[in-house]
Amino acid sequence: MQSYQEMSKEELLQEKAGLEEAYRKYANSGLKLDMSRGKPSAEQLDLSMGMMDVLNSDSDLSCEDGTDCRNYGVLDGIQEAKVLLGDMIECHPDNIIIFGNSSLNIMFDTISRSMTHGVMGSTPWCKLDRVKFLCPVPGYDRHFSMTEYFGIEMINVPMLPTGPDMDMVEDLASRDEAIKGIWCVPKYSNPQGITYSDETVRRFARLRPAAKDFRIYWDNAYGVHHLYDIDQDNLVEILAECKRAGNPDMVYKFCSTSKISFPGSGVAAIAASANNLVEIKKQMQMATIGHDKVNQLRHVRFFKDIYGLTEHMRKHAAILRPKFELILNTFDRELKGRDIGTWIAPKGGYFIAFEALEGCAKAIVAKAKKAGVTMTPAGAPYPYGKDPKDSTIRIAPTYPTLEDLEIATDVLVLCVKLVSIEKILEGK
Amino acid sequence: MQSYQEMSKEELLQEKAGLEEAYRKYANSGLKLDMSRGKPSAEQLDLSMGMMDVLNSDSDLSCEDGTDCRNYGVLDGIQEAKVLLGDMIECHPDNIIIFGNSSLNIMFDTISRSMTHGVMGSTPWCKLDRVKFLCPVPGYDRHFSMTEYFGIEMINVPMLPTGPDMDMVEDLASRDEAIKGIWCVPKYSNPQGITYSDETVRRFARLRPAAKDFRIYWDNAYGVHHLYDIDQDNLVEILAECKRAGNPDMVYKFCSTSKISFPGSGVAAIAASANNLVEIKKQMQMATIGHDKVNQLRHVRFFKDIYGLTEHMRKHAAILRPKFELILNTFDRELKGRDIGTWIAPKGGYFIAFEALEGCAKAIVAKAKKAGVTMTPAGAPYPYGKDPKDSTIRIAPTYPTLEDLEIATDVLVLCVKLVSIEKILEGK
The per-residue pLDDT string of chain B (428 residues; one tens digit each, 9 = 90 and over) reads: 899 999 999 999 999 999 999 999 999 999 999 999 899 999 999 999 999 999 999 999 999 999 999 999 999 999 999 999 999 999 999 999 999 999 999 999 999 999 999 999 999 999 999 999 999 999 999 999 999 999 999 999 999 999 999 999 999 999 999 999 999 999 999 999 999 999 999 999 999 999 999 999 999 999 999 999 999 999 999 999 999 999 999 999 999 999 999 999 999 999 999 999 999 999 999 999 999 999 999 999 999 999 999 999 999 999 999 999 999 999 999 999 999 999 999 999 999 999 999 999 999 999 999 999 999 999 999 999 999 999 999 999 999 999 999 999 999 999 999 999 999 999 88
Residue type, A242: C
The DSSP code for B4 is G
Instruction: With CB atoms and an 8 Å threshold, state whether A295 touches B291.
Output: no
pLDDT tens digits for range B252-288: 999 999 999 999 999 999 999 999 999 999 999 999 9
Structural contact between residues A415 and A364, judged by C-beta atoms closer than 8 angstroms: yes
Which of A126, A142, A265 is the closest to B294 by Cβ? A265
Q: What is the pLDDT of residue A172?
A: 98
| pLDDT per position as a tens digit, A303-338 | 999 999 999 999 999 999 999 999 999 999 999 999
Contact between B286 and A145 using a beta-carbon 8 Å cutoff:
yes
A111 min Cα distance to partner chain B (Å): 10
Q: Which CATH number fits domain B4-44+310-427: 3.20.20.70, 3.90.1150.10, 3.30.420.40, 3.40.50.720?
A: 3.90.1150.10
Nearest to B262 among A258, A262, A294 (CB): A294
Cα separation, A345 vs A353, in Å, equals 9
Q: How far apart are CA B232 and CA A138, in angstroms?
A: 59
A31 by Cβ neighbours in 10 Å (0-12 / 13-18 / 19+) ranks as middle
Please state, in angstroms and rounded to a whole number, the distance separating the CA atoms of residues A417 and A341.
10
Q: How far is B164 from chain A (nearest CA, A)?
A: 24
Distance from CA of B329 to the nearest CA of A (A): 28
HSE-up (13 A, CA, CB side) for residue A259:
26
CB B122 within 8 A of CB B304: no
CA distance B265 to B295: 8
Task: Burial-class residue B123 by CB neighbours within 10 Å (0-12, 13-18, 19+).
Answer: exposed
CB contact under 8 A, B57 and A45: no
Q: What is the pLDDT of residues B107-124, one digit of tens each?
A: 999 999 999 999 999 999
Query: Hey, which residues 169-228 in chain A have their CB within 8 Å of chain B?
Result: none
Using CA atoms, how far apart are residues B184 and B119, in angstroms rounded to an integer?
A: 19
pLDDT confidence of residue B62: 98
Question: What is the structure's pLDDT at B223?
Answer: 97
DSSP string, B354-369: EEESTT-HHHHHHHHH
Could you tell me if A65 and A316 are in contact, meaning their C-beta atoms sit under 8 angstroms apart?
no
For the CA atoms of B204, B207, B209, B214, what is the dihedral angle to 10 degrees? Answer: 40
Pair B114, A126: CB distance under 8 Å: no
Q: Which H or E element spans position B166?
A: helix B166-175
CA distance A85 to A88: 5
Q: Which CATH class is domain B62-304?
A: alpha beta
Residue A408: predicted pLDDT: 97
Q: Does any CB of chain A come closer than 8 Å to the CB of residue B104?
A: yes
Pairing label, strands A215-219, A179-184: parallel
Is residue B290 a contact partner of residue B75, using CB atoms and an 8 Å limit? Answer: yes
Query: What's the confidence (pLDDT) of residue A181?
Result: 98
Question: Which residue of chain A is at minimal alpha-carbon distance from B108?
Answer: A287
B283, A149: Cβ pair inside 8 Å? yes
Query: What pLDDT was estimated at residue B1?
Result: 83
Cβ pair B331, B55 in contact under 8 A: no
Q: Which residues contact B37 (CB under 8 A, 6 or more apart)?
A: A72, B376, B396, B399
Give the distance from CA A269 to its chain's centroid.
Answer: 15
Interface predicted TM-score (ipTM): 0.96
- Whether A409 and A26 have beta carbons less than 8 Å apart is answered as no
Q: Are the beta carbons of B101 and A283 separated by less than 8 Å?
A: no
Q: What are the extents of the domains in chain A?
A: 4-44+310-427, 61-304
Helix (H, G, I), strand (E, B) or coil at B205: helix
CA dist list (Å): A217 to A260, A263, B46, B298, B301? 21, 21, 41, 34, 39
pLDDT tens track, chain A, 428 positions: 899 999 999 999 999 999 999 999 999 999 999 999 899 999 999 999 999 999 999 999 999 999 999 999 999 999 999 999 999 999 999 999 999 999 999 999 999 999 999 999 999 999 999 999 999 999 999 999 999 999 999 999 999 999 999 999 999 999 999 999 999 999 999 999 999 999 999 999 999 999 999 999 999 999 999 999 999 999 999 999 999 999 999 999 999 999 999 999 999 999 999 999 999 999 999 999 999 999 999 999 999 999 999 999 999 999 999 999 999 999 999 999 999 999 999 999 999 999 999 999 999 999 999 999 999 999 999 999 999 999 999 999 999 999 999 999 999 999 999 999 999 999 88
The answer to whether A270 and A239 have CB atoms below 8 angstroms apart is: no
Residue B252, beta-bridge partner list: B217
Buried-state track A102-141, b at ≥16 Cβ within 10 A, e below 16: bbbbbbbbbbbbbbbbbbeebebbbeeeebbbbbbbbbbb
Residue partners of A128: CB distance under 8 A and separation at least 6: A178
Nearest to A70 among B71, B262, B287 (CB): B262
Contacts of B162 (CB under 8 A, 6+ apart): B194, B196, B197, B199, B200
Interface of B with A in 239-268 (CB under 8 A): 258, 262-265
Cα separation of A29 and B271, whole Å? 44
Q: Are A70 and A90 in contact (CB under 8 A)?
A: no
Contact call for B70 and A115, based on CB within 8 A: no
Query: CATH says A61-304 is which class?
Result: alpha beta
The strand ranges marked E within B73-139 are: 96-98, 132-137
CB contact under 8 A, B287 and A73: no
Residue B243: exposure state from Cβ atoms within 10 A (0-12, 13-18, ≥19) = middle
Tell me the H-state helices in A161-292.
166-175, 198-205, 238-244, 274-287
